[in-house]
Amino acid sequence: MKPDVLSFARASSAALLGMVLQGVLGVVLLIYGIVGADLAAQSAAYTILAGLVIWITLAVLFDQHRRERIEAIEAETLGSAPGRAGSVFETSAEDLRVAARRLQSMHAYLVPTVSLLLAAGLLALAWWRFSVGEPRAAIEEFAKVRPTERGWAISLGLAIAVVGFVFGRYVSGMAKQKVWANLRGGAAQAVGASLLGLLIALSHLIDLAGSDWLLRMSLVIVPAFTGLLGLEIVANFLLNLYRPRKAGEIPRAAFDSPILGFVASPDRIASTIGGAISYQFGVDVTGSWAYRLLSRAVLPLVLFGALVVGLMTTITVVGPNEQGLLLRGGRLARTLPPGLHLKWPWPFESVDRVDATGLRELTLATPRPGETIQAVLWTNDHGIKEGETFVLVQPNLGAGGTDAATAGVSKIAVEIPLVYRIADVQAYERFAPAPMRDGVLRAIARREMLAYFATVNEDQLLGAGRGDAGRALRERLTKAYERAGTGIEVVFTGIEGVHPDKDVAPKFEEVVKSQQQYEQLLEMGTTEAISALTITAGNLDLARRIAAEIDALSAMQGKAEPVAIRAQELKIEELISRAGGQAGATLARARAERLGKAMTERGRAEAMSGRLAAYRANPGLFKARQYFDVVRRAIEDARVYVTADNLPDLRIQVDLKDMGTGDNVFTNPTVSPK
């Protein structure tokens, strides 16, 4: 087509029409997105409205082309006028081409600047839509941002898809002419709006059929699509800097998207690929019978492929460890056991598979200790990145002597895993949305856990009551989950670990140390008592029996009859004699000494009786014998000197140290009869 004034005017009119049409579509979609609380529609509307910059730039650019053509025609007419005379003020023709220079400046500066600004705007828009939390809402809290106007979404989405695609194909057909080549950028924007409208309509149609996965993911897909367009414009701008161009050739705008251009005009891409193959290998692909047959049968092939895919969706397989939920129109129809099943094709029926036999675990309080190179003690760090979770319990009131009103509370960290399995799949699926299900289960468990811990004290959890606490907690959780209709069965829950705060742990260790010392002293005392009783009585049981009998004897003193007291004493002596040991030996020695002393005294008494009988029979003889016996014993070891009694001067010098001389048998206390 000849690049004349009318052709550029037509292109400018098409750009203005595209601007109006895309503006109307964007504004209508934005109004729906705000009224219907559809975040994906709002993101799509912002992206569509951003494309107005391209249509405005194309309208201005083609209008400048029209002005340049008018200027060229005027210059040509002026230069070919007959009789045209020169003057001293004559200037060159190029100096008078103001519109041409302005057009050249637009291609050199305006279009690249607009492209970069549009790329920056699209990237900022994508970042903004991501930063408002749409991905998190798509995964975790979609129930809070679910659109409310499904019918309007489907209607507007289909309308935008049809209008945008038809107008994009129309403009893409115009862009096949070299004069209107820059209209490819506008055609790409129209097709982009069509794809966004189709995504919105399709996501709501799938949600109507019973699955909201595309509705969730559209909150992420639309901002990602916007960011991809911005990155593509930047890449095109960089490639244009190094792309060679012929003199007088109109440069390709950076906002001309090859990706959307493929959707708007796929035949051009196919022709380009075929031309490249023909150039490289010398084979005319586009002129072959196979290419022509495929181009004519592409629609039947696509329909046949769609039919095959639809028939494949009528067969579903539920794994051996799974149960399937058959959804018909978004409502649960029945539960499918493991195996092969037939169903209506998607989207009329769909199957959600749930792992119903595997065990699942939730952490209700403090997580397990992390990787550490040292022993896990109360007084060191346990390596838990997210921090420990403490619960409030009653303090130990036994030692302080305070009451519950003034004692306050104590905080301890407990490790409580919850292991469960799915018992009722339908109840489990109806219980809560999948992203929120674990959070709700954990909230119910923590509510029961805190209510139970408020009734126990720290000594019960830190001591021997830990097992009872785990069993009681499992019973409470089982009843709570049954009341909530969760459809799960609690397989195990218990207290795996418990410890106080690291700052107060040394005080607990002092208490434990004191208790151990008390136990040690108690054991030592018991050992000494057993040893003393065994040594004393020879038998521990018999020693304890003897001690009990002695206590009974003490209780009888002053209350019972002497006969009963004597009987109790004899009983005790009998037990001591039978037990052996030091007490029995002492008792035996006492008995022997008593018997020996009694026999000695009895012998002396019998001897005295004999001497008394002899005295009574003959007192004089008895006294004489006793006298002479005393004299005999007195002089038994003494010196005897025999001298004459008539010596006038007898002197005997001797050492008179003899003992017993001059004794009186009746008065000397040292003399005893034998």
CB 521 within 8 A of CB 568: no
pLDDT above 50 for 399:
no
Is the backbone of residue 387 left (phi > 0), alpha (psi -120 to 50) or beta?
left
Q: How many CB atoms lie within 10 A of CB 140?
A: 14
pLDDT above 60 for 602:
yes
pLDDT per position as a tens digit, 214-259: 787 888 888 888 888 888 888 888 887 777 666 666 777 888 777 7
Please check whether residues 351 and 365 belong to one and the same domain: no
Please check whether residues 320 and 253 belong to one and the same domain: no
* N residues, the chain: 674
Q: Report d(CA 264, CA 252) in Å as an integer.
A: 17
Please check whether residues 492 and 531 belong to one and the same domain: no
Q: For residue 606, is it within any domain?
A: no
pLDDT per position as a tens digit, 473-482: 888 888 888 8
pLDDT per position as a tens digit, 555-597: 888 777 877 877 877 787 777 777 767 777 777 788 788 888 8
Domain boundary among 326, 342, 357: 357
CATH number of residue 398's parent domain: 3.30.479.30
Q: How many CB atoms lie within 10 A of CB 593?
A: 10
Q: For residue 190, is it within any domain?
A: yes
Domain boundary among 453, 478, 503: 503
The rounded mean pLDDT for the chain is: 76
Please check whether residues 388 and 319 belong to one and the same domain: no
| Amino acid at position 503, single letter | D
Q: Report d(CA 111, CA 61) in Å as an integer.
A: 9
Please check whether residues 218 and 155 belong to one and the same domain: yes
Please check whether residues 352 and 495 belong to one and the same domain: no
Q: For residue 159, is it within any domain?
A: yes
Q: Please state, for a pLDDT cut of 90, what percent of the chain lies above it.
A: 0
Please check whether residues 305 and 281 belong to one and the same domain: no
**Average pLDDT, integer, range 322-326:** 79
Domain boundary among 460, 475, 503: 503
Q: For residue 168, is it within any domain?
A: yes
Please check whether residues 423 and 492 belong to one and the same domain: yes
Between 148-152, 254-258, 460-464, 542-546, the lowest mean confidence (pLDDT) is in 460-464
User: 648 is in which domain, residue-wise?
Assistant: 620-674
Q: For residue 352, is it within any domain?
A: yes
Q: Report d(CA 353, CA 429) in Å as an integer.
A: 11
**Average pLDDT, integer, range 175-197:** 83
Please check whether residues 353 and 385 belong to one and the same domain: no
Q: For residue 310, is it within any domain?
A: yes
Place of tokens 């151990």: 516
pLDDT band at 89 (very low <50, low <70, confident <90, very high): very low
Q: For residue 87, is it within any domain?
A: no
Number of domains in the chain: 5
- For 435-464, the DSSP string reads HHHHHHHHHHHHHHHHHHHTTSBHHHHHTT
Tokens encoding 628:
């002479």
Please check whether residues 665 and 520 belong to one and the same domain: no
Please check whether residues 347 and 252 belong to one and the same domain: no
Using alpha carbons only, what angle is made at residue 529 by residues 528 and 531, rounded to the nearest 5 degrees? 60
Please check whether residues 325 and 343 belong to one and the same domain: yes
